Amino acid sequence: MKRDPDRDWSKPSWFSNPFNGLEHQNHMGGWCFIICGSTGVARVLIFGHPATISLFFLAFGLGLILGIEAVYKYFAPRILNNRRDAF
């Protein structure tokens, strides 16, 4: 796979286009999973129904968001330096 030196490596945020790249899509998906899992857990607390799938959604969303944060904390400087050295 050929590297694209013009790729947008901006950190995902609430104000960025969610379709700029894979990390932006995963950021949006992670928050969707967190919201879905949180509403399921709230349903359990209110009505007392079992919430096994809701806990999975919540854990999956938290894993996506924390994984993206880890990538940008530890690997973004290396990615950006390699991008500058490509030319």
Question: What are the structural domain ranges in the chain?
Answer: 22-85
According to the model, what pLDDT value does residue 39 have? 92
Mean pLDDT of 23-35: 90
Check pLDDT > 50 for residue 87: no
Mean pLDDT of 36-50: 87
Mean pLDDT of 78-82: 60
Distance of alpha carbon 45 from alpha carbon 65, whole angstroms:
24
According to the model, what pLDDT value does residue 61 have? 96
Distance of alpha carbon 3 from alpha carbon 45, whole angstroms:
48
Mean pLDDT of 3-9: 57
